[in-house]
């Protein structure tokens, strides 16, 4: 039994030596400004989350991420179990947090009570003519040019030093369940795609992905859902036109099934656009996958060699 059950990831935090450069990139990536006091940069998506990306001034680095709980009562239960205080969350949307540190020292903020914001309007979704069905008649398709429209943060991927130790830590505190465990050999696990347990409500195939690596523990990427496939491709062209640094894509993953497009921010942190990912219920359980499954694509660009 876990202490509480998380609902979703909430935000990622970074530090950077120049907030204006980070802001310009994130605008190109498809985020919107979330007004906040000076000295910190908060960016939101087109959904209801008050912010999805935060940057403080300092040497470039990953500053941790937030996991949203279902209630303030759950937050207090977690705080009591960990012997930690509940603090006000000094950020757009307010709310409260408990600051934890996972086995590799990654900062994890359990949050609750954030005030949702009004979603920004998106262009009307135009249905596809496909599969021998033609619901779109007397209407041409014209894709809006410019950045993608980030809706929300979907998942965070971490390289960890001891997969089983980290897996146990996240499951015991947040009730995460396994969608696919990565086994390079039978009964040898080095990672897993973990999702929130929402019971009868569907959840993304993965909310957190943990992968044991030979390198020191490190941030791998954060993934942001965009409006649809056309929106992802329009954003791809916009980022290319802005001479931003591409990392991997476009393609469709095998595990999770989402269409993906990876880019690097000005300090090398990898961020992903994705759309059309798998949704699972708690009752769907999980499976075993290979390294080949992890690296495979159903179509599109193959995974490039890892740096170094």
3-state secondary structure of 299: strand
pLDDT in tens, 79-125: 999 999 999 999 999 999 999 999 999 999 999 999 999 999 998 88
Q: How far is CA 246 from CA 13, 240, 249, 256, 276, in A?
A: 21, 8, 8, 21, 21
Neighbours of 287 (CB within 10 A): 12
The reported pLDDT for the residue numbered 102 is 98
3-state secondary structure of 224: strand
Say what the pTM is: 0.97
The Cα–Cα gap between 252 and 94 comes to 36
pLDDT in tens, 199-227: 999 999 999 999 999 879 999 999 999 99
Measured CA angle at 263 (ends 231, 267), to 5 deg? 140
The reported pLDDT for the residue numbered 227 is 97
The reported pLDDT for the residue numbered 88 is 98
Exposure b/e, 165-198, CB count within 10 A at least 16 = b = ebbebbbebbbbbbbbbbbeeeeebbbbbbbbbb
And the tokens for 302?
A: 């193959």
pLDDT at 308 over 70: no
What's the chain's average pLDDT? 96
What is the Cα 64 distance to its own chain's centre?
12
Q: Out of 30-44, 72-86, 88-102, 237-251, which region has the weakest mean confidence (pLDDT)?
A: 30-44
Cβ–Cβ under 8 Å, residues 149 and 29: no
Query: HEC string of 252-291?
Result: EECCCCCEEEEEECCCCCEEEEEECCCEECHHHCCEEECH
Strand ranges in 90-169 using DSSP code E only, listed in sequence order: 96-101, 107-112, 150-160
| Domain at 6-115+149-300: CATH architecture | Roll (3.10)
And the tokens for 60?
A: 């470039």
The reported pLDDT for the residue numbered 52 is 98
Q: Please state the domain extents for the chain.
A: 6-115+149-300
Is pLDDT larger for residue 305 or for residue 262? 262
């Amino acid at each position: 039994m876990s202490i509480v059950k998380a609902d979703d990831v909430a935000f990622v935090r970074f530090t950077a030596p120049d907030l204006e450069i980070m802001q310009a990139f994130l605008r190109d990536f498809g985020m919107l400004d979330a007004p906040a006091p000076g000295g910190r940069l908060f960016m939101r998506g087109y959904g209801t989350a008050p912010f999805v990306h935060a940057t403080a001034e300092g040497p470039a680095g990953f500053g941790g991420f937030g996991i949203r709980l279902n209630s303030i009562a759950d937050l207090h239960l977690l705080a009591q179990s960990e012997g930690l205080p509940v603090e006000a969350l000094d950020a757009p949307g307010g709310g409260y947090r408990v600051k934890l540190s996972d086995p590799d020292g990654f900062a994890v903020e359990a949050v609750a009570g954030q005030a949702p914001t009004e979603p920004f309007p998106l262009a009307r979704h135009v249905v596809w003519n496909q599969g021998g069905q033609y619901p779109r008649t007397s209407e041409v398709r014209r894709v809006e040019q410019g950045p993608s429209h980030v809706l929300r943060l979907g998942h965070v991927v971490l390289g960890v030093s001891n997969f089983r130790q980290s897996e146990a830590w996240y499951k015991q505190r947040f009730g995460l369940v396994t969608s696919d465990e990565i086994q390079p050999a039978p009964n040898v696990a080095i990672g897993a795609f973990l999702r929130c347990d929402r019971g009868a409500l569907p959840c993304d195939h993965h909310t957190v992905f943990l992968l044991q690596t030979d390198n020191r523990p490190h941030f791998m990427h954060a993934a942001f859902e965009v409006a649809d496939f056309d929106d992802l491709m329009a954003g791809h062209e916009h980022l290319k036109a802005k001479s931003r640094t591409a990392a991997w894509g476009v393609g469709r993953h095998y595990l999770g099934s989402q269409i993906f497009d990876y880019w690097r921010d000005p300090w090398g942190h990898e961020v992903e656009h994705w759309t059309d990912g798998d949704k699972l219920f708690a009752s769907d359980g999980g499976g075993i996958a290979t390294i080949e499954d992890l690296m495979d694509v159903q179509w599109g660009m193959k995974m490039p060699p890892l740096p170094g």
